[in-house]
A and B are shown apart, each in its own frame.
Chain A
């Protein structure tokens, strides 16, 4: 395992920000780190980066603790975006690149390459404050990726971007992963995590409540969605035993069930009311899992 967190706990005085968190992330995987605001994501990232020391437990990167000696191997996109507002994009990126151990000329080449990739080569000599927020974010993503880090930590990389830019960044992140980097990212957007991450973990108030591969997480959730489309009234189906939840729309309904048996029973019942146009058993979305686990107020 490339990055390992072993029973990590972080306390600030009386307050426990992270409670007994364990993760193991393999090399070249993309790991999703989900949690509501204040769940302890940023604290965890800061511990991984060595900015904070865990109160208890151990964090290792390739078997060694992370410190300033390993910082050249790490790329970091903080949640709160930050760049020098008055500095030109190129100067700024050269400075940040050099701090991550790049040579000046390599940094220059990498900056050109990345700006081209993000279709903003004209920003090379602009001051950061002149750029829009989304474009500033692109610059910051470049700062996190330009030195070809082996471990990339992205805190909310896609927030505040339009769909076109989200796709652009997603493909960049995927490429970096395909080149062998280990990527940890946090997000509120469950669809992004579902699309990108093989493995994930959900934390809530410092506690890890879900951990594992996307498929295992979905399987072990123990609920499925049954979607039925019909022109007839389906409200009566709610009384079928095993149905946990039902939501109705004009052209049908979605039932949350715990096993396949209930699903079949639902189909039978539905057919009794009339012809069914559509029937499917869907695996739960991450959104469903997150809401079920963390609670509605954080969705």
Chain B
């Protein structure tokens, strides 16, 4: 057992103390804080540049401009309007000069219809013209209603909005709003799991291959059994991964807390993203699926790493492994919008996809407890089987030198491991 901890400690500490690890972690933590405070930072740069955003309006009737202004305010739009005497050509000139962003031409021919032209520098202001059109539409409807001499009640009855409410009867039992929140959180965590599993299983394979190519392996396995060595290594680097993820999580939490006290904006930003109040169960599942997913892939990666004799060969041998994770991620990404689709449900039980896909389902849907439990059980079983198998390959693989780039070596390694 002592040997196990020595290897574990070495695998963990030598990586944790490495410059690469420290710098990566620091950069990501800094990035998280930066992102959380982005609104504050932007505001800091915007200070003192409080320019008026009033849009110049060319109109023959000033009353209608006031009416439009009221309508827009009622719809929650803050942009003001300003009647101007300039001609269209002059305004186009100003637009090209960059003095104004856009302008509006309003005409009321015949008194009961509205013609409008909205000119902007580019079509990137997408929401505002829609709102403008909507406001003008309702104004025209009002004008027509007045012309038909409808009583205000009649007009009101005519324009009464439909009572529309969206509810779902899918397995999720969550409202659309809740879904959106959960979706964002699940997406972020899923991405973390995906990223961490790829990164750390690669680290394992490279580490094992380095030990083999630098031939220190022969000394190691003459004092510790290869099986012990493999599991200590996998566990050591896994702990490192967990520590890094927790650091990121902690940084994210602190960044959120600190930034929301500074600006209410970012608080609303985060709660919109569904990160306002994180459901504890989702986080717990995220950790469980990260740990299991990591072990599943790390054992495989160690096995593959033991087959190569040069670090350069790691990349080619680990590609199939990466492909499996990518496929899992694609399924999960598609499942974000349709978490109860059949292919998502089925693939969530496949141990190699479960860390991403079952996590997605558990995060988005209200599943009966046995579903994630079954997936977790299957994963644990797979890890045990792979661990047993991997240990045998590893035992032979670490003694094998020479050009080894294919999975054919698996058989050779197994053979050697037995001997």
Q: Does A74 contact B (CB under 8 A)?
A: yes
Q: Known contacts A52-B419, A71-B222, A74-B222: does B6 contact A80 (CB below 8 Å)?
A: no
Do A51 and B216 have beta carbons less than 8 Å apart?
no
Q: B215 contacts A80, CB within 8 Å?
A: yes
Q: B217 near A71 (CB under 8 angstroms)?
A: no
Q: Are A82's CB and B6's CB within 8 A?
A: no
Minimum CB–CB distance from A58 to chain B (whole Å) comes to: 16
A68 in contact with B225 given A95-B10, A99-B3 (CB within 8 Å): yes
B residues with CB within 8 A of A: 3, 6-7, 10, 14, 18, 210-211, 214-225, 399, 401, 415-416, 419
Q: Which of A73-98 contact B (CB under 8 A)?
A: 74, 76, 78, 80-87, 91, 95-96, 98
Query: Of the candidates B3, B6, B399, which one forms a contact with A51 in the assembled complex, judged by CB atoms under 8 Å apart?
Result: B399
Q: Is A229 an interface residue (CB 8 A)?
A: no
Does the CB pair B223–A82 fall under 8 Å? Answer: no
Cβ A76 vs Cβ B219 within 8 A = yes
B158–chain A nearest beta-carbon distance, Å: 78
Tell whether A46 is near chain B: CB-to-CB under 8 Å. yes
* Interface: A49 (CB within 8 A): yes
* Cβ of B1 to closest chain A Cβ, rounded Å: 12
- A residues within 8 A CB of B18? 86
Cβ-based interface call for A41 (8 A) = no
B419–A143 CB distance below 8 A: no
Flag whether A53 is at the interface (Cβ < 8 A): yes
A143 in complex: contacting residue of B14, B219, B221, B224, CB < 8 Å = B219
Q: Could you show 26 A-B contacts with beta carbons less than 8 Å apart?
A: A12-B416, A51-B222, A52-B399, A52-B416, A53-B419, A55-B419, A68-B223, A68-B224, A68-B225, A78-B218, A80-B215, A82-B219, A83-B214, A83-B216, A84-B211, A84-B214, A86-B18, A87-B14, A95-B6, A96-B219, A96-B223, A98-B6, A99-B6, A99-B7, A99-B224, A143-B219
The residue among B222, B399, B419 with the most chain A CB atoms within 10 A of its own CB is: B222
Which one of B219, B224, B416, B419 lies within 8 Å of A78 (CB-CB)?
B219
Give the interface SS of chain B, mostly helix, strand, loop or mixed.
Answer: helix
Given A51-B222, A68-B225, A74-B222, A82 contacting B215 (CB threshold 8 A)? yes
CB distance from B292 to the nearest CB of A (A): 29
The interface residues of chain A lying within 8 Å CB-to-CB of B216 are: 82-84
Neighbouring A residues of B219 by C-beta, 8 Å: 76, 78, 82, 96, 143
A82 and B399 contacting across the interface, CB-CB below 8 Å: no
Across-interface contacts of B415 in A (CB, < 8 A): 13
A100 within 8 A of B: yes
Contact between A82 and B419, CB atoms less than 8 A apart = no
4 more A-B contacts (CB under 8 A) besides A68-B224, A80-B218? A78-B218, A81-B215, A82-B214, A84-B216
C-alpha spacing A96/B3, complex, angstroms: 10
Interface contact A99-B215, CB-CB below 8 Å: no
Q: Which residues of B contact A98 (CB under 8 A)?
A: 6
Interface centre among B6, B210, B223 (most CB of A within 10 A): B223
Q: Which residue of A lies closest to B220 (CB)?
A: A99
CB neighbours (8 Å) of A84 from chain B are: 14, 210-211, 214, 216
